[in-house]
Structure formats: C-alpha cells, structure tokens
C-alpha cells in the first residue's frame, strides 16, 4: 500500500508540474499531501460612482486576495497527528506562512476539514486560507520559515526509516521543533517564538549528538565482536551468521539515519543563526 501511494504521489507530481513541497506554518506537505494545484490571484476592490449621462468615476481601494484553497490526502502512520497540527493552527487563528513553488503568503487558516478513513492511514483533507500578506518573491522571513519546515520534515523522515530505541529521543526532539516553527514571529530575533525555536533546536542537536554516539558505539561493538571471534561477523553457525547480519544491517541503518538527520539539523541551526545576525 505504502509503495503504491508513493508511486501515485510521484506520478501526480509529473502530471501537475510538481513545483516542490508545500509548506504551511512549518509543516511540509509531500507526496499525496501536495495538492494538484493552488489557484491564486484575486480582485481589485473598486467603488464605482455612476454619473448622470452614463459617466462613471472608479476609485481603486486596493487588492483583495482570493482565498487559497486546495484538497489532498494525509498518508502514513503520522497522518492523524499531522492533520491535528494543521487543525491546531486553524483553532489558534494566527497568521502563519504558506509557501509553494516560487510563491509565499502569510495566511490565516479559515477552514480545515479532514476525514478519518482507512484505519487512519489515508486521510482526505480540505483547507481554505485567507491571505493576510503576499510576498511574490518568496524571500525573507517567510522563505526561511519554509526552509526550516522542509529541513525538519527531512530529518524526521530520515529517523523514521529505521526502527530503533536510539532514534526515539531524536524523533521526539524533532517533533518539538516542528511544533514551534509555525509561529510567524519565529524569525524575529529576540521574540519569545524565536527563542522557543532556538531552544527546541538546541534540544534536537543534543539528541542527535547522543544518538550518533550510541549508534557509533553499537557499530563498533559489532566490529569488535567479529574481530575477537576471528571472522567478520563473530558468528559460529548459519543461524548466528544470519542474526549477526541483521544486527549489523540495523546498526548501519541507524548510524546512516542519524548522520542524515544531523545534516538537516546542522543546516537549520546555521539558518537560524543567520536570521538572528
């Protein structure tokens, strides 16, 4: 099922232009979570004064952005948790950043609807956002918030690839970072939101460092045992060899996942440091 959905998500990206992930308040949508399209634009607010004889005087009152609306699917074991994060933003009613392709907007989530289906693995959702402020270039604070959201999602994806108790604290720390990013003021140096992101990211950095040490030690132990036994895996029979291979594969996967997450966390830390400069 998971492989089929991944393929469908890739096909959808090809068919509909796949301009990259959509980020809303630090939450990054990927695969089937990404909408086929997001229609943007709006109207110019006009006051029309109709004069005798058919003449008209038109006053332009400024742009009125249309709501940004789309529907797609949350998928995977974390689908319900991710949907709740979006709904929490809706309930808070605070401006958050929305970025897709080369566009970014500061928006308030006007409505969010989600349906529980397929044992919580595939959840259809619909969302509508009212635009507070447009940023056509996608640069500045909104762009950096989007970058942080993409990196934390990448780090979470990396540590979810392998099941290991070593990675549990890392996943929890990264989830904390993801939960505090959505505040629009998070990149205002000195603000409480900014300090919250810094604190959460420091916790993630520490968790990754500890996990890296544990994973490195685990791999070192497997190699040392093999050397002590006089062979590569330290096994004396076929069953022991299979078990040793599985252990070595798991240890190698954990180490690779931690290192990949460390790269994302390091880039987030550098970007946040740059934002405070």
Mean pLDDT of the 92-118 span: 85
pLDDT reported for residue 190: 73
pLDDT reported for residue 141: 44
**Cα–Cα dist 167/176, whole Å:** 14
If you average pLDDT over every residue of the chain, what do you get? 75
Task: Determine the topology of domain 1-136 in CATH.
Answer: Elongation Factor Tu (Ef-tu); domain 3 (2.40.30)
- Is the Cβ–Cβ distance between 194 and 204 less than 8 Å? no
pLDDT reported for residue 49: 77
Of the two residues 16 and 54, the one the predictor is more confident about is 54
CB burial of residue 69 (10 Å; 0-12, 13-18, 19+): middle
CA distances from 200 to 33, 64, 277 (A): 26, 37, 19
As a whole-number percent, the residues of the chain with pLDDT over 90 amount to 9
**Cα–Cα dist 51/54, whole Å:** 6
pLDDT reported for residue 224: 65
pLDDT reported for residue 259: 81
Q: Full-prediction pTM beyond 0.85?
A: no
- Every domain of the chain and the residues it spans: 1-136, 139-277
pLDDT reported for residue 236: 53
Of the two residues 234 and 205, the one the predictor is more confident about is 205
Mean pLDDT check: name the lowest of 25-34, 200-209, 218-227, 266-275. 218-227
């Amino acid at each position: 099922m998971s492989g089929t959905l991944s393929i469908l998500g890739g096909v959808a990206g090809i068919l509909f232009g796949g301009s990259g992930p959509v980020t809303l308040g630090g939450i990054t949508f990927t695969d089937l979570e990404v909408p086929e399209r997001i229609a943007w634009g709006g109207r110019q607010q006009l006051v029309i004064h109709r004069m005798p004889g058919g003449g008209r005087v038109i006053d332009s009152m400024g742009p009125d952005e249309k709501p940004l609306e789309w529907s797609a699917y949350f998928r995977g074991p974390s689908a319900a948790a991710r949907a709740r994060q979006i709904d929490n933003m809706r309930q808070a009613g605070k401006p958050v950043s929305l970025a897709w392709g080369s566009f970014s907007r500061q928006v308030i989530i006007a409505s969010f609807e989600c349906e529980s289906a397929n044992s919580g693995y595939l959840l259809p959702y619909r969302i509508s956002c009212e635009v507070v402020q447009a940023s056509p270039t996608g640069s500045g604070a909104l762009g950096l918030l989007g970058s942080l959201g993409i990196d934390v999602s990448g780090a979470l994806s990396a540590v979810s690839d392998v099941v290991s108790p070593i990675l549990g604290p890392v996943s929890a720390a990264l989830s904390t970072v993801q939960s505090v990013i959505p505040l629009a003021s998070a990149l205002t140096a000195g603000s409480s939101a900014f300090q919250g992101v810094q604190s959460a990211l420091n916790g993630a950095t520490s968790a990754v460092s500890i996990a890296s040490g544990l994973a490195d030690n685990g791999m070192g132990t497997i190699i040392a045992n093999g050397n002590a036994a006089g062979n590569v895996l330290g096994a004396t029979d076929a069953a022991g060899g299979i078990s040793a291979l599985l252990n070595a594969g798991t240890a190698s996967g954990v180490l690779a996942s931690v290192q990949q997450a460390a790269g994302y966390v390091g880039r987030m830390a550098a970007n946040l440091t740059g934002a405070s400069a």
